[in-house]
Amino acid sequence: MQRSAATISASLKKVPPFPPVAAKLLSLLSSPTVDTNEVADLIGSDPSFTARLLQRVNSAEFGFVSDITSVRRAVALLGLDTTRQITLAHATAAYAEGGLRTDSMRRCWQHMVATAVLAEEIAVACDAFASVAFTAGIMHDIGRLGLLVAYPDEYEQVIRNAAELSLDVLDFEQEEFGAHHAEAGRLLAELWGLPPEMGLIAGRHHDPCEGTELDLLRIVHVACRLADVLGYDVVRPLSASNPVDIIAELPARARERLMRDPAELCGRIEQSIREFGSEPAQAPPEETLALLASSANDPAPAARVSEVNVESNGVADALVTTDSLESASQPTAEGRKRAIGLWIVAGLVCAIAAAWWFLR
């Protein structure tokens, strides 16, 4: 059944909202520094999050001798990591029965994790967008998850048919739902009040890269395509792409890093997939790994992206500032941001998966 863009927009509005406090935490983390008091005040603005946090901090589990009644004090005592675990566990508690229950959901989640790991590799190699690349990668296909919730049976069918009939999945989605998953992702990011950069990544990650500058969108675009050819795809691409051609969109430093040890790179992707309780669907294609690895010994192809142009072209300007302010000598803050972002998104995916389960 064909639908209009207005219909899909109305259907996505019915997708359960991502808890506002968790969505705002995600925004907070895109600022250069995370202020503990700001996090505490945000949690304190929501009675149910406040109650949950105070209940836990006063439980025997933590063993504090006096009663803690202030959220700021609770956050200071627990630290950001534990606070994050408690609040996001609470955010997803309503969906506790959820999980990645279908093969399509699992593949979708695995593709997002693979894209996130690859995006981070590229960003770290180029020393640009390193603090946000993982989160951007893991958020880029939220539109697919949204479509799976809004149209569970129909979208499963679209994925199956696109694979079997070798159809372009974006065209097929557009035809079936009146909008493809990238547009659905942009709409969802807007509906949930996520940072504008996330909406831009979700909405434009399939657009061909323009210009010669390395921005966050280019990083995610290449990471998504590379994840596909490494076997972490949702729908098999229409024609098999050469991984070396895909990474030619990147500066030499990123290409060298990706070609250095592709098998080890895939090992890291699979470890991340397992950390979320999923099992990688299949081993990466040997020939793709061999192609990448053998290219490492070839003279580097001419770079399409200049090393000197590793900067923003208007995409996520604020995030450039974030990156330039953070040096590689701050792995702890970097890791913490990544972990918090990852848990927020994991909560989001669980929420969507569970909503799908309840609504079907």
Residue with tokens 């389960």: 357
Instruction: Name the closest residue to Fe ion (Cβ).
Output: 224
Q: Which is nearer to Fe ion, 220 or 319 (CB)?
A: 220
Q: Least Å distance between CB 111 and Fe ion?
A: 6
Q: Least Å distance between CB 194 and Fe ion?
A: 16
Q: Which is nearer to Fe ion, 51 or 240 (CB)?
A: 240
**Contact residues: Fe ion, CB under 5 A:** 141, 224
End-to-end CA distance of the chain: 18
Q: Which is nearer to Fe ion, 84 or 186 (CB)?
A: 186
Confirm if 181 and 143 have CB atoms less than 8 A apart.
Answer: yes
Q: Which is nearer to Fe ion, 43 or 184 (CB)?
A: 184
Q: Least Å distance between CB 341 and Fe ion?
A: 17
How many residues are there in the chain?
360
Please tell me the distance from the alpha carbon of residue 342 to that of residue 290, in angstroms, as a whole number.
31
Q: Least Å distance between CB 51 and Fe ion?
A: 38
Q: Least Å distance between CB 68 and Fe ion?
A: 43
Q: Which is nearer to Fe ion, 141 or 197 (CB)?
A: 141
**355 φψ region: left (φ > 0), alpha (ψ -120 to 50), beta (else):** alpha
Please tell me the distance from the alpha carbon of residue 296 to that of residue 178, in angstroms, as a whole number.
43
**Which is nearest to 243 in space by CA: 225, 269, 261, 263?**
225
Burial class (CB in 10 A: 0-12, 13-18, 19+), 247: buried
Q: Least Å distance between CB 79 and Fe ion?
A: 34
Confirm if 219 and 136 have CB atoms less than 8 A apart.
Answer: yes
Q: How many CB atoms lie within 10 A of CB 340?
A: 24
Q: Which is nearer to Fe ion, 57 or 224 (CB)?
A: 224
Please tell me the distance from the alpha carbon of residue 305 to that of residue 48, in angstroms, as a whole number.
48
Q: Least Å distance between CB 225 and Fe ion?
A: 8
Please tell me the distance from the alpha carbon of residue 115 to that of residue 137, in angstroms, as a whole number.
5
Residues 6+ apart with CB under 8 A from 232: 110, 111, 113, 114, 115, 269, 280, 281, 284
